[in-house]
Chains A and B, each alone.
Chain A
Amino acid sequence: MLRSTALLAGSVAAAVAVLVSAASAAPLRPSSFPVTVVASNGKVTVRKQPRRIVSLSPSATETLFAIGAGTQVVAVDDQSDFPNNAPRTTLSGFTPNVEAIAAYHPDLVVIAYDPKGLSAALGKLGITVLHQDGPRTFGGAYQQIRQLGLVTGHEAEAVRLVAGMKRKIAAIVKKARGGRQLSVYHELTPDLYSATSSTFVGKVYTALGLRNIADVADHGGTGYPQLSSEYVVAESPELIVLADSVCCGQKPSSVAARPGWDRISAVRTGSIVLVDDSIASRWGPRLVNFFRAVSSALGRLRSQA
């Protein structure tokens, strides 16, 4: 998923959804319908509380269930593997079939990617589409959660969820910062695609006060450069985060077995974090889990020193 996201982020202009509805001024009042929000596909009006939601965005699926809108969801795409009770189907968010989506008679379809005029085609069938593109900042992610709360009639829960996430992340960051600045290498694929500080996942490392070794390599400005093996060995990052453990079977032993990599600081100290690919590539409620995984590795590393 993260690799797909990387592709998308490179090709699709970053458009962060913002709330403009009058309802956002009174966050704790239950949303009244109709409600209008501005998403990546422009102004979206939801006439009444949706009862048959189809989510083709794994991040949105996680949020919908976390804010109590899960019972309104009738189908999620093949990549939405969390939570377990989400009604996972063979629908695809990358090669979507409009008829197959329409067969669920949805009154709201949430997408993270709009290939080949998907939203226009669904629009012709009279189906409301909410396009939430991958955000570049935490603020963008929080706004998407609040937006999902607004359009599903769970605004209060969404606001509570965001507040909880902010509080937990602030606590983690406070504990993690301080001391000597450490360097990090975030691995997307075994052929050394990485993510810079300009990406969503990279902002986690920035927040934790880490130096990202991929930053100097991003000539194209995509945020996802492919690094030279020589460079990674020479940089000798103190922390390695593997976001390719599920997709590609990478683990600390396979990283240590790469030629020359046994010299890398993180390999010597065992500071290699395995993060479930799906956690490291989504921008939903489990962002907190990602922060926790990285910060606990940092804690172990600092206590060794």
Chain B
Amino acid sequence: MSVAAERVSQVRPRGLSPLWACSAVVFLLCSLAIGVLAGPVDLGMGAVLESTAAHLHVPGMTSPLTPTEEAILWQIRVPRVVLAALVGGMLALAGATYQGVFRNPLADPYLLGVAAGAGLGATIAIAYLPDGLRGQRALPVAAFLGAVVAVVLTYAVGRSARRERDAATLVLAGVTVAAFFTAWQTFLQQQSSETLQQVYAWILGNIPSSGWPDVVLVLPYIAVAVAVILSLRRVVDVLNLGDDEAASLGVDVRRVRLALVAAATLGTAAAVAVTGLIGFVGIIVPHAIRLVSGIGYRALLPLSFVVGAGFLVLADVVARTALTPAEIPLGVVTAFFGAPFFALVLRTTRGGAG
């Protein structure tokens, strides 16, 4: 484990400097601006700004856009940018939380079976729900339920372990549950091959152009998750020292860990339910921030949300404009940029960890 000098430095981790906080917020604002201005349909920067002003009821401003362009901007593009920001922020925050709670730099938001559970839920919905229920609305609900069931099962398996319960046991339980659910999902897909492409498209992950309803759907879960995690952000630094050390510092390790994992899981499940699986955001964003700033979790967690939001908005801009007017699955974009970066993280952290 870590040497004494490291412990001292970790108990008093570096806080959030104004410079980093401002840089992150500026990055997010720039990403949002690019997200709203860029798209397969060129609306013109001035027109978008004027339309925004008109929507904000700035006196004397009227939108120069046609009704169709207005619909494209306000019913398709803006909600998609907002959804990308919420989901990206949530995935990065959940990833950072898991990495702190489980003291595992490779932990991602899907660690405890969220992805496998959501995948199984979505597959069941695609394969078995009657036509009437199978529209866009039933799929997120099924994926959400599947994700929650998988994580509850992971917890149950982890608790039933006879050996002392620790974070590693929970991670192993997550691997077990994920393997079981994935096998089940593959079996169902194989039984009804006509669902293959739909399930495949869902797994690749994308920010849907489904307008405000999906934003409204995920917002409460993500808001609660963000509030819970950020209110416990100082405890994550303590947990990161190890269970015994944290307990000796007066932290109820099991209860706090449960609260953090439950919040991260709830938010991730809601995000995954509407977007499918988007890889690497939860790993690369926290690691990137840590690498460049060297801050502790109490600062890393809020920064991860802000930077993750900006990152996914930009990735989605690539997904919907690089091959315009065709789309690239967002999971491909994030993994394409994420995988080389992750290799770099592995190289740089190999010496320090362990």
Q: Is the CB of B76 within 8 A of A229?
A: yes
| Complex A-B: 9 CB contacts under 8 Å | A4-B197, A6-B197, A95-B190, A229-B76, A233-B68, A246-B131, A248-B198, A258-B209, A259-B71
Q: Mark B320-354, 1 if CB is under 8 A from A, else 0.
A: 10011111010000000000000000000000000
Considering the chains assembled together, what is the distance between the CA atoms of A93 and B237 in angstroms?
A: 55
Residues of A within 8 A of B40 (CB): 228, 230-231, 234
Per DSSP, chain B at the interface is: helix
Determine the chain A residues whose CB is within 8 A of the CB of B77 once the complex forms.
Answer: 230
Q: Which residues of A contact B71 (CB under 8 A)?
A: 233, 259-260, 262-263
Known A189-B197, A249-B135; judge A228-B325 contact (CB<8 A): yes
Instruction: Report the separation of the CA atoms of residues A233 and B71 in the bound assembly, to the nearest whole angstrom.
Output: 9
Q: Beyond A258-B211, A259-B212, is A226–B190 a contact (Cβ under 8 Å)?
A: no
Cβ 8 A contact of B135, one of A219, A227, A254, A263: A254
- Is B39 in the interface zone, CB < 8 Å from A? yes
Q: How far is the CA of A262 from the CA of B40 in the complex (A)?
A: 19
Which A residues between 241 and 268 are near B, CB-CB below 8 angstroms? 246-250, 254, 258-260, 262-263
Chain A residues at the B interface, C-beta cutoff of 8 Å: 1, 3-4, 6-7, 79, 92, 94-95, 189-193, 216-220, 225-231, 233-234, 236, 246-250, 254, 258-260, 262-263
Q: How far is the CA of A3 from the CA of B198 in the complex (A)?
A: 8
Identity of the chain B residue whose Cβ is nearest the Cβ of A216 in the assembled complex: B325
- B79 interface residue (CB < 8 Å to A): yes
B208 within 8 A of A: yes
Q: A191-B206, A230-B39, A248-B134 are in contact. Are A3 and B194 (CB under 8 A)?
A: yes
Q: Is B193 an interface residue (CB 8 A)?
A: yes
Give the complex CA separation of A262 and B67 in angstroms.
Answer: 11
B326 touches A3 (CB 8 A): no
Q: Known interface pairs A3-B196, A3-B197, A94-B193. Does A263 touch B320 (Cβ–Cβ under 8 Å)?
A: no
Whether A228 contacts B209 by the Cβ 8 Å rule is: yes
Q: Type the 1/0 row for B56-81, where 1 means its CB is closer than 8 Å to any CB of A.
A: 00000000000111011001110100
Q: Which of B135, B193, B323 contacts A92 (CB 8 A)?
A: B193
Contacts of A254 in B (CB 8 A): 135-136
Q: Beyond A189-B201, A191-B201, is A249–B131 a contact (Cβ under 8 Å)?
A: yes
In the assembled complex, the Cα of A234 lies from the Cα of B79 at a distance in Å of 17
* Docked complex Cα distance between A94 and B195 (Å): 12
A contact residues around B201 at 8 Å (CB): 189, 191, 193
Residues from chain B with Cβ under 8 Å of A262 in the complex: 71
Kindly identify which residue among A1, A95, A220, A228 contacts B324, using a CB–CB cutoff of 8 Å. Answer: A228
Given A3-B196, A217-B326, A234-B72, 13 other A-B contacts at CB below 8 A? A4-B196, A7-B197, A92-B193, A190-B136, A220-B323, A230-B40, A230-B41, A247-B198, A258-B210, A259-B79, A259-B210, A260-B72, A262-B71
Listed from nearest, the 7 A-B pairs whose CB atoms lie closest are: A259-B211, A229-B209, A231-B325, A3-B197, A260-B71, A259-B75, A217-B326
